[in-house]
């Protein structure tokens, strides 16, 4: 670049809260384009494993074959090894029939109701050929007696369901069943400044009225000093209600609220296919690969500029 100017940034990430299904973190010293790119990769490009092919052997249930196949596809499967698996379209070790350790996992389900009591057929009735790829367990560890899976169909006496299913690697861009994210959101970190001089001119009743004008619990009144304080800046939803209230009270400039354009607060919820923390790490790895591909493309263009038609011919252009 001219004069050695560089726009390179070094983003920083700080974990605030981390559980298996949820992670909250701060992303700083970057811009909205990078934050949104990370969000979109988490939703649509981190691979998981999901049922993609269903062969129905017997189905005497009230649901037709297509309905059951669709429900099976939406059951989240543990996908810790999805990053190392092959896409079935790229696998040269099989013909796509499911008998391949590199690109697919086979499931079987056999259920028949023999009593007058309704039988729930759930994800726990799916038997996998690979112990690392199984339906996600949503049972509560604090309630040992509760072992519920995701209901696929309900059977009455004499009804039966037998099927074979093949799970394959995929991404959410191709179908939502492969998306590992239940939700991914980010917001600009708000910067809130209260004008103490103007606030001093308000009565306690006016302060309460102004604090209560915020739809969320951003402000409160200190019981000792009777001063308005910011208790939770991240609860602010950029609704401008407190600003409008201040103007209606004849006190414009009572509060200034700005968004830090280089600081973002992410909330990531996983479907359970991968842990939320692993989802973030996988997304960063995929984003790095994409950026490397762009950089390589730029290098190729520069080579074409240097070598002209020869460089384009070498690439088949």
**Least confident residue range of 53-57, 65-69, 313-317:** 313-317
Per-residue pLDDT, 141: 67
CA–CA separation, 106 vs 118, rounded Å? Answer: 27
Summarised one tens digit per residue, pLDDT across range 249-289 is 999 999 999 999 999 999 999 999 999 999 999 999 999 99
Residues forming beta bridges with residue 165, ordered by sequence position: 54, 107
> What is each CA distance from 5 to 1, 2, 10, 32, in whole angstroms?
6, 6, 15, 21
Q: What is the pLDDT of residues 57-108, one digit of tens each?
A: 999 999 999 999 999 999 999 999 999 998 988 888 777 666 788 889 999 9
Return the CATH number of 49-177, one of 3.40.50.300, 2.60.120.260, 2.170.120.12, 3.30.70.60: 2.170.120.12
Task: Break the chain into its structural domains and give their ranges.
Answer: 49-177
Q: Please state, in angstroms and rounded to a whole number, the distance separating the CA atoms of residues 317 and 308.
A: 11
Q: Give the pLDDT of residue 215.
A: 94
At CA 108, angle to CA 106 and CA 113, rounded to 5? Answer: 170
pLDDT of 197 > 60? The answer is yes
CA–CA separation, 185 and 199 (whole Å): 34
């Amino acid at each position: 670049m001219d004069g050695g100017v560089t726009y390179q940034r070094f983003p920083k990430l700080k974990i605030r809260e981390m559980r298996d299904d949820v992670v909250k973190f701060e992303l700083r010293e970057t811009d909205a384009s990078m934050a949104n790119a990370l969000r979109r990769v988490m939703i649509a490009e981190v691979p998981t494993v999901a049922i993609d092919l269903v062969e129905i052997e017997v189905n005497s249930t009230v649901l037709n074959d297509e309905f059951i196949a669709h429900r099976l596809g939406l059951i989240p499967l543990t996908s810790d090894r999805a990053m190392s698996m092959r896409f079935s379209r790229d696998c040269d070790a099989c013909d796509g029939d499911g008998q391949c350790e590199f690109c697919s996992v086979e499931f079987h389900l056999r259920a028949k109701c023999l009593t007058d009591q309704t039988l729930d057929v759930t994800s726990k009735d799916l038997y996998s050929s690979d112990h690392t790829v199984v339906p996600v367990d949503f049972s509560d560890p604090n309630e040992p007696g509760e072992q519920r899976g995701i209901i696929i169909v309900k059977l009455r006496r004499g009804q039966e369901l037998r099927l074979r299913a093949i799970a394959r690697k995929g991404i959410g861009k191709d179908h939502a069943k492969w998306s590992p994210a239940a939700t991914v959101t980010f917001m600009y970190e708000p910067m809130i400044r209260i004008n103490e001089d103007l606030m001093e001119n308000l009565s306690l009743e006016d302060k309460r009225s102004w604090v209560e004008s915020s739809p969320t619990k951003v402000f409160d009144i200190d019981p000792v000093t009777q001063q308005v304080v910011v208790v939770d800046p991240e609860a602010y939803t950029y609704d401008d209600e407190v600003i409008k209230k201040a103007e209606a009270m004849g006190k414009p400039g009572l509060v200034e609220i700005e968004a830090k354009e280089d600081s973002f607060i992410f909330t990531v919820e996983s479907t359970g296919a991968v842990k939320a923390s692993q989802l973030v790490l996988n997304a960063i790895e995929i984003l790095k690969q994409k950026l490397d591909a762009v950089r390589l493309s730029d290098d190729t263009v520069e080579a074409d500029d240097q070598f002209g038609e020869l460089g384009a011919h070498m690439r088949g252009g």
